[in-house]
């Protein structure tokens, strides 16, 4: 019942977003492809190449974000999924201010939203997240979101009914005749869950990108072609406790090329 109700909610949001586009209610959208190459990953094989598709949009009653990673393992294959795998998230949010057609602002809060996430991929990764979200006005930032989720995992695997805090941000710094864009997110699972399959540890995943707007510098087009790095720090990756016998604290810097269209 939990899976069906959450799935119906997510499906309803997708259908509503699709209808909004059909009715001309889409406010903006952006798509991108990213290539990443990095070494020293933990739990999974150490060397990885990733191609990521991302979609973001805003419509009459909220916003949506979708990404899908195609991950290629260099060297030895992953024990669970082989030489390559995929992982994605769909993150719809419904704006209370947009639904009520009025501003909901107090202090730094500029809107209150219902935030949801569907995590999917190869293997036992399917999860459903739901909770309150907030758009914040913080000086200097292009945008800053703060979402609070309760996580619901598929089946009875560890990590069910725990809370996750997810800030998302973007910050632009002018550099010469172009810009450096610093954006990203952090997923902080703040509590533990113990069940029959073992212990799921609190964990923190910090994942910013630092990118130079090469397209603007070359007069190719602003906010279209970026080069830079992605930093990936994950304490107790996947909720697995870091020990001397098995290291799960991940600290990786990957080369990045990103093209928006």
Domain limits at 71? 2-260
CA atoms within 13 A on the CB side of 208: 10
Percentage of the chain exceeding pLDDT 90:
80
The pTM of this model reads 0.88
Residue 76: what pLDDT?
85
Closest CA relative to residue 213, chosen from 185, 253, 172? 172
pLDDT tens figures, 33-42: 999 999 999 9
Low-confidence ranges of the chain (pLDDT < 50): 1-8, 195-197
pLDDT tens figures, 146-193: 999 999 998 767 778 899 999 999 999 999 999 999 999 999 999 765
Residue 196: what pLDDT?
41
Beta strands in the chain, from DSSP E residues, in sequence order? 26-38, 47-59, 62-74, 84-95, 109-121, 127-136, 141-153, 162-175, 178-189, 193-195, 198-200, 203-213, 225-235, 250-260
Q: Across-strand partners of 127?
A: 119, 153
Number of domains in the chain: 1
CA pair distance 69, 122, nearest whole angstrom: 11
CA end-to-end distance (rounded Å), the chain: 39
CA distances, 139 to each of 56, 169, 178, 183 (Å): 23, 12, 21, 15
CA pair distance 122, 127, nearest whole angstrom: 12
CA pair distance 138, 144, nearest whole angstrom: 7
Q: Which helix (H) or strand (E) holds 122?
A: none
Q: What is the CATH number for 54? A: 2.40.230.20
């Amino acid at each position: 019942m939990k899976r069906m109700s959450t799935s119906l909610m997510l499906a309803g949001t997708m259908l509503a977003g699709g209808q909004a586009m059909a009715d001309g209610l889409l406010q903006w959208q952006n798509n991108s492809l990213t290539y990443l190459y990095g070494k020293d990953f933990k739990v999974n094989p150490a060397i990885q190449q990733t191609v990521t598709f991302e979609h973001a949009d805003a419509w009459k009653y909220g916003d949506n974000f979708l990404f899908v990673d195609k991950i290629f393992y260099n060297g030895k294959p992953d024990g669970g999924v082989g030489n390559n795998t995929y992982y994605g998230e769909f993150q719809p949010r419904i704006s209370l201010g947009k639904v009520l057609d009025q501003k909901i602002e107090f202090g730094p809060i500029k809107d209150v939203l219902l935030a949801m996430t569907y995590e999917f991929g190869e293997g036992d990764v399917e999860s459903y997240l739901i909770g309150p979200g907030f758009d914040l006005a913080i000086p200097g930032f292009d945008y800053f979101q703060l979402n609070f989720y309760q996580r619901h995992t598929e089946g009875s695997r560890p990590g069910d009914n725990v809370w996750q805090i997810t800030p998302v941000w973007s910050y632009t710094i002018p550099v010469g005749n172009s810009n450096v864009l610093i954006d990203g997110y952090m997923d902080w699972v703040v509590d533990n869950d113990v069940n029959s399959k073992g212990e799921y540890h609190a964990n923190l995943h910090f994942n910013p990108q630092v990118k130079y707007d090469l397209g603007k510098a070359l007069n190719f087009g602003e906010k279209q072609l970026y080069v830079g790095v992605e930093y990936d720090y994950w304490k107790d990756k996947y909720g697995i406790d870091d020990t001397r016998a098995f290291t799960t604290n991940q600290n990786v810097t990957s080369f990045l090329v990103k093209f928006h269209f």
